[in-house]
A and B are shown apart, each in its own frame.
Chain A
């Protein structure tokens, strides 16, 4: 048998691979903010968190620095971090899954202990933590997204096929009383990261906004500046709150090109480039953190409402952030393709296998393995 490597895809650690980040005012408790970090998409029943990874939530108070075409955020230098770490599994849960003990280190250096898959989670005063396997809340039709990029034509079918249907992720859910735990606000910028543990943790991945690295940055063929460059590893290594100028133009060129590609999918230009040759959304999207207004009441479909209001010179009316059940692909394709100036784009997938609930830990219980389900 051959001894050589089977390729980097197979050799990376799936438990460090962030799939999504969510931030929303708790629908069940006033004055509480909920943050969700999902890793290990399409994970089978034996999936566990890595003991060599720090799962980090970074939160900074943020101000709106400018409105209109130059809309921009100004995150504070003050940061609140929650670091979650896990032990090697020891024993089994009631459902037969490997049992892990975990802990969450809060900004004021308190440690909250918990056991994975325990729906009550661990709690300490104003912070509650859950970690475990849950149903994948995201839904999309990857084949038709790829076909759209390949053909240059919107390829969604009236009834699409959910690529993630019935799959599971590993989730960490933080629910915190934001006025007590965080300083400043009520507008906060949130980024989640996985880091290789050690004396000087090394960032493996970072995620703020959804579908930045995939839909918005991954296609290389439209980028006339760096057509052959895979920039996502480089992008991951950057601090979301402090993008270095060295590669900023690389990201900007790629994002401009890909946003322009999406804009022309309906045969008209809804997002004319500005006087500097940039797509109007590029600057806001490269501020790659979720912005949530914790003082606003919970809303179902509020992603990017704060940013849209900034572009339109008006005050925002929702918490922004991102709720688990929002049909994100419909939203983002409508935003990118016609900016709301045309009919909504529907990707043909309108929900996951199970909706998230409005009570802790919010995400639906994990789906049974395929064999069991069959």
Chain B
């Protein structure tokens, strides 16, 4: 169906997506053994005398939704910052799609397909929803500044293609009524959704979400959890989620990794992690 057809709807066939629920965990695990999209081995990171990460191993496999949990200061954000290139670990390797990316800059990693959202609001308030999402396409643009300024052939065609992609994301995130609204006028939950949309615009091969639900009410959390699952199911994008809301984490994750004082204390299915004595001690304290 041509894009100009009024009847063209996004057709997502069930076969294209990973299975869910009961079947999901085992399938994801089977995949894990063969296809690690992003992997960190024996990461160490310290700030002066403080050891933020102590020999942490981490991986996310194709089609997997992994959550990282832990008390404040456990090293969750430090791990994400190492993965996305904002921190350089003092030792250890990070591999993406089988390649060592330890020396790649954050923009380089974004261009490779590692998308990340940050804690708090990082959208551009004076730009519209669609413009914010289009910003995510920037790192994929092939035509340069001069071609863009002259607005000639390839640059123009590229823009038309990206607008269409941005619109597909707008439809996916149900932002149609707000596409031309300035993000500064939106509420917190919607801005986070736009933030997620911008991350999707880089056409990610892995999506890293740092506390996307902090400060949201229950409805907003439910909505966002739904979108994260849909991204994961419909697009098959592996997701790395750092989140404090245990209910959400246990509900949507394939696998949960628990950090404490820079060390991994548990790594398994939500049920396994919930029953792990070390996790119970870390979260509930010890007598």
Q: Do A and B bind each other?
A: no
